[in-house]
Structure 1
Amino acid sequence: MTAMNRLADITDVLGQQLGATGIAARVELLRAVDMIRSHCARATLYCAAGLLFDDPRDREACIAGIGRAMPGAHAGVRLLSGDEVEPGIDPVALAWLRDTVADMPDSIAQMGHFVAAVSDLAKAFANETCKPDDVREVTRFAAGAFNEHFAKLVNRLSEHLHSDRIVRRATANQTGADARTALREISEISRNVGLIAINASIEAAHVGEQGRGFAVIATEIRELSEKIEQANTRVQAQVDALIHQVIDD
């Protein structure tokens, strides 16, 4: 398979989300696993429907539908069981997918067996050697072993995805709380420095000419304190925005 073909079938799986990162990429990969089921179901349905049609144009339409469905199914299996980086897919998310199901070789194998069985069925249909019993055999496999192992895979991935999101949310919230505490401390220090500077200015005024130099320094300190407070407010807004972005990602 050429690099362009590989990119095409991955695009078929991930649709407009190709290039997603972070939690969005993991969601799209979970959807890609689900495409194994849905794409194979589409291909099998086309084979079954094709057996009912006599018009060559209907048969050609079914073959075209099978051709559109199967690349996504093959891509889904490759994402689960492969060991190569896929073009356009976040490598961190892909590693998460494979690591999460690494201890489920039987379930991954059943995905491959199902796609292979549907592929054989599609070839038989294209060669006009497909029989109703062939369709029944595939559908029985889909309702039995495939469905059992597919549910295990999807449940495992969904649990990890949910757990990761909870951890990310908790970490983000804790980080935000720590940042806000630090910012409040900075604000408190800044206000205290400002009060000291004001008091120093008052004392310098009482001294008169001899305190003029000290008054200038006190004024600069007070202005610095005000700038720190203004910067603190901006940083607080930026921290809040960043935390929301991490949680919602």
Structure 2
Amino acid sequence: MILEVQQAVEKTAETSAQISDSSEELSIGIKSQAMQSADAAAAVEEMTRTIVHTAQNTTFAAGQATESGKTAREGGEIVRQTVEKINQIAETVINSTATVEKLGDASAQIGEIIMVIDDIADQTNLLALNAAIEAARAGDQGRGFAVVADEVRRLAERTTEATKKIAQMIRNIQIETENAVNAMKKGSSEVTAGIELADKAGNALGKIVSSADKVVEMVQQIAAANEQQSTTSEDISVKIETISKVSSESETGVAQISEAVVGMRQMTLDLKVLMKQFQLRKSAAFTFADN
């Protein structure tokens, strides 16, 4: 019976030692886990700050991109209005060119009429000269006719001078008209080139607007992803905090277990001492009984 108790005490002492060693190892592991949890919590906190900062920058970038898109749209509208005005100017120039060309044609027709009038004046002058010659041959009887012929000749000369002046004016008008037509044609070409440039500018602004819209969409997606990351990191932080709390509680529990094991080992040692004392007393009693 005593032997069985002694074996049980030895087994208890051995088990207590194993539990103590395991508790010590567990305590070390829990402390390491707590340290790692603290490091992870710090890393997650830093990551959260970075994500928040990135989200702020992304939001700012989204605002800038939206503003750029708005400005590009306004620029596109201005270019569209400019193209519309240039088209109106081009139409006016074309109409003016047609009007001036008609004026040139009318001037040419007037020139032809002046040539006819000038030819008639020359013929009238020649007829007046012939009439004067015939009047001179007629003597006194032809004197009155000579006066009329002389007046007709003077009228023809005045008509010739007037037609020459008008012809010169018509030539000047034709020259100015031709210059105006050429200038308007050149202006029309420049207006056409301006329209092409304005169209290109409008297309470029359209591409800018499209790109700005895409940038805004992408930035918004990034902002949404950052927000989701921020939420996820907060969840991770809460879970790590929970793990850290559990580790702390586990460390406390292990410390209590270790303390209990130490107490149990001490009780086992005390029990072994008592068992030895009991054996010694029992041996002494047997020896005394034999004597």
TM range (shorter): 0.3 to 0.5
Bigger RCO (CA 8 Å, 6+ sep): 2
TM-score by length of 1: 0.42
TM-score by length of 2: 0.36
